[in-house]
Structure 1
Amino acid sequence: MTGFKQFWTKKTLVGLALGQFLSLLITSTGFSSSELAKRGINAPTSQSFLNYVLLAIVYGSIMLYHRKSLKAKWYSYAALGLVDVEANFLVVKAYQYTSITSVMLLDCWAIPSVMLLTWLFLSTKYGYKRITGVLVCVAGLVTVVFSDVHAGDRSGGSNPTKGDAFVIAGATLYAVSNVSEEYLVKNADRIELMSMLGFFGAIISAIQISILERNELSSIHWSAGAALPFVGFSLAMFLFYSFVPILLKLSGSTMFNLSLLTSDMWAVVIRIFAYHEKVDWMYFIAFAAVTVGLIIYSGGDKDEQPNSGGDMTDKDAERSKHLDEEAGSGPQQ
């Protein structure tokens, strides 16, 4: 009973629920991107641009209203913006060269990368329960990847080697971005993080669009059918980016990346109920495995004993909460 109560703490339940909410948002962006691709629109950086603009406007306005000064160096956010923009670009670009199966499998590289980076730079320590949870989650996804559902997709791609390299590079940058955000949200301020990431992300995206996607945008014949998924993608990404720091502060970047493993399973659920498609039964086993892995990982708090550089102790959490209250930016803003 003691072990069961340890699993079902308020922190565990909130972390699991928030993680799945973020996973659903990622799933919705996938459907939006798919719809845009069907209409011949191939502008990944442009899709993310509006999200960065919304972050800069909304959270920047809050910062200006409270007249808050930066707690972290501006160039830290500039570097984060560059890493984040290029991570999004590389992974989306990879679909042009390799198969969906390869992207799904290789994107898991972000998880060990995050664990290594948090161990090196945030002094996060992982006990056997958390490592077991990670292994169970990854095993669940591998079950999907090698199931008959993707049997016809394994040889897809015009240049698999190039595409796989893009995915690995993008996943590594995602890991750097996630760990950086975890550090900044725990040692600076969530509102500051979102506004500055939006500001520099918008600038970097605009430069990249002018170089790589200007001709693509000029050739698009905009209509309601094309504009709606474009705007829907941006709004979903805005909500995703807004809630990510909350989960990072609550459960860390490893839990965040593990939660996103279920996005493909949620896509299956949508296909079943919205499009009445039949899917392989292996998906349900994989979904159950990832869910069990998340619960095991979330309940492994006792195994992790970080110092102030990693996941915060109660004293660190109280100090951060006090600083947030003083800055007028509680965790629910």
Structure 2
Amino acid sequence: MTTDTNRRSWWRRRSEIWTVVSVLLLGQFVSFILALLNFTSSLSANQGANSPVTLGLFGYLALTLVNGSILLYQRHELLVIPWYWYALLAFFDVQGNYLFNSAYYFTSITSVALLDCWTVAWVILLTWIFLGTRYSLWQFLGAAICCVGLALVFLSDAGVGGGGGSNPLLGDTLVIGATIFYALSNVGQEYCIKKNSLTELLSMLGLFGILFSAIEIAAFERKNLEEVTWSAELILTFVGYTVSFLMFYSLTPIILQTSGATLFNLSLLTADMWAVIIRIFVYHQKVDWLYYVSFSVVGVGLCIYSKTEKDRNLSPKPENRIPSTQYQLVHEEGVENPDATP
């Protein structure tokens, strides 16, 4: 009897470890895709295409075509969540993408990446207020270690990519605004995906994203598009951004479903390190040893945060498990009031 109990305990612990590792690996893959998004967005800005909303429009179009086709094939009829919640999420997301992509025209890539970390702070605050998430001291410690690791990146990057830009103050302000909208969108998506299917969320997010993007292009970006000099390289940049956008938004809800918005945004802190790797292969730049130390420190912080979170959610209440036709909900991130609105 004792042997069977020990064996079950061993398999349960092994399953828990694999769950944590798989979530961390998936988070790093999404972080790498985010680095590609940032790289292609910055590349389009360097080529004179001042059209941040248009960049996002093609991404939302791809999101709608792929997931809308799946919904039509499944003969999905009624929305589980009211359409106006999806419209609100899409509005937040479009504004976040617009402000974030616009920042590249005014400030440096290093400043954008540094200030983008504010998303973590906003997400912790919003999940605590609206989703009832409670964080332990160990989770705060894990988040703090992640931020320390990221600080090492910018300590090394200060002499390479720090400063610059035509209007750094405006660019930094745009990034701060973008982090607020991103946090609102992430927390809203976490709420929706834990109550509904992934396909409906992505379809409606893409559909309303197209609507809001088209309105803003007509109002603010039409003149800029007329001044763009299109080339094969610029078109490829748009294609790369669209593919990265589709992959990023398709994988994001999976992490939000299994781990929540906070761990998701902590995982994205390594996007700047992946951007360094991209710069090595594209621009053949040398990498300072602090980058490797930074990556290791952030990895330790993520492990502390995710392991602590796992320990607090080993026995989720049955009523908190929402069935999904596509993905199994592994656990919930301390949601005490599932009926709360985002």
CA distance in 1, matches of 2:36, 2:159: 24
Amino acid at match of 2:316: T
Gapped regions of structure 1 (runs ≥ 5): 307-311
- Aligned counterpart, 2:234: 226
- Of the structure 1 ranges 74-83 and 7-16, higher mean CA displacement relative to structure 2 is found in 7-16
Amino acid at match of 2:140: I
TM-score, with length taken from structure 2: 0.86
Q: Is this contact kept in 1: 2:107–2:165, CA < 8 A?
A: yes
- Aligned counterpart, 1:75: 84
- Aligned counterpart, 1:313: 316
CA distance in 2, matches of 1:181, 1:244: 9
CA distance in 2, matches of 1:38, 1:153: 15
* Identical-residue share of aligned pairs (%): 45
1:256 aligns with 2:264: yes
1:188 aligns with 2:191: no
CA distance in 2, matches of 1:97, 1:120: 33
| Cα distance change of structure 1 residues 251 and 268 upon mapping to structure 2, 3 Å threshold | same
CA deviation digits over 1:125-176, x for unaligned, max 9?
Answer: 11122111100111111122233x3236544233333222211111011111
CA distance in 1, matches of 2:301, 2:14: 15
- Aligned counterpart, 1:247: 255
CA deviation digits over 1:307-326, x for unaligned, max 9?
Answer: xxxxx925256x423xx23x
1:267 aligns with 2:289: no
After TM superposition, the structure 1 = structure 2 runs for residues 1-333 of structure 1, keeping only pairs within 5 Å, are 9-68=17-76, 69-147=78-156, 149-151=157-159, 153-273=161-281, 275-301=283-309, 304=312, 313=316, 315-316=318-319, 319-321=321-323, 324-325=324-325, 329-330=326-327
Q: Is this contact kept in 1: 2:45–2:105, CA < 8 A?
A: no
Amino acid at match of 2:135: Y
Question: Aligned Cα RMSD in Å?
Answer: 2.4
CA distance in 1, matches of 2:217, 2:55: 10
Q: Is this contact kept in 1: 2:41–2:101, CA < 8 A?
A: no
Q: Is this contact kept in 2: 1:255–1:294, CA < 8 A?
A: yes
Amino acid at match of 2:50: N
Q: CA deviation at 1:224?
A: 2.5
| Cα distance change of structure 1 residues 40 and 274 upon mapping to structure 2, 3 Å threshold | closer
CA deviation digits over 1:41-92, x for unaligned, max 9?
Answer: 2211111111111111221222222232101111111111111000011122
CA distance in 2, matches of 1:252, 1:92: 25
| Cα distance change of structure 1 residues 20 and 241 upon mapping to structure 2, 3 Å threshold | same
Q: CA deviation at 1:290?
A: 0.9
Question: SS of 1:188's equivalent?
Answer: coil
Amino acid at match of 1:315: P
Question: SS of 1:151's equivalent?
Answer: coil
Q: Is this contact kept in 2: 1:33–1:233, CA < 8 A?
A: yes
Give runs of ≥4 in structure 1 deviating > 6 Å: none
Q: Is this contact kept in 2: 1:98–1:157, CA < 8 A?
A: yes
Amino acid at match of 1:18: L
Equivalent pairs, count: 318
| Cα distance change of structure 1 residues 48 and 331 upon mapping to structure 2, 3 Å threshold | farther
CA distance in 2, matches of 1:298, 1:172: 23
Q: CA deviation at 1:23?
A: 0.7
Gapped regions of structure 2 (runs ≥ 5): 1-9, 330-342
| Cα distance change of structure 1 residues 305 and 116 upon mapping to structure 2, 3 Å threshold | farther
CA distance in 1, matches of 2:42, 2:35: 11
Question: SS of 1:213's equivalent?
Answer: helix
CA distance in 2, matches of 1:61, 1:187: 21
Amino acid at match of 1:201: G
